[in-house]
Amino acid sequence: MEFGVTMFATDYSMGPAELAVAVEERGLDALFIPDHSHIPASRESPFPSGGEMPPDYSHNLDMFVSLAAAAAVTKRIRLGTGICLVVERDPIATAKAVASLDHMSGGRVDLGVGGGWNREEMENHGG
C-alpha cells in the first residue's frame, strides 16, 4: 500500500515545494495537486460536499507550476494531478505540460483526469 498527500496549493498555504520535501522526508509516496483555472464570480452549481465552497478553490495556484516546484526539490515521490480538468484545457498545451513535467521529474508523474463538477467554470471555457 502507498500513501500520499493532496493539497490545494494556494497563495496562503504552505508552498508545494516545502510540502513535497516534507512528504518525501516522512517516507510517504506521493503529492497530488488539484486543478481549477478559476471559480466564477457567480455560480449555481452546488458544492459536491454540501455547504459553502472552501476558499481554497478560489485561491489555488496553477497545478503544473506547483508540481514542477515539487519535482525540483524531490527525487522519489510520485507527483500527481488530482485531478486535471481536461475539458477546460487545450489538449496540445496540456499534453506538452504533462510530458515536460514527467521528463523533468524523471518519470514520476501520475495524470489523474476528470470533467469537474462546476458547470459555470466549464461554461467559461466553452463547455
91-114 pLDDT per residue, tens: 999 999 999 999 999 999 999 999
Res 93: pLDDT: 98
Res 120: pLDDT: 87
Distance CA 114, CA 87 (A): 8
Residue for grid cell 510540502: 19
| SS3 call for 30 | strand
33-61 pLDDT per residue, tens: 999 888 888 888 888 888 888 888 889 99
Q: Are 90 and 43 in contact (CB under 8 A)?
A: no
> Domain map of the chain by residue range?
1-41+54-77
Res 77: pLDDT: 99
Res 4: pLDDT: 98
Share of the chain above pLDDT 70, in %: 100
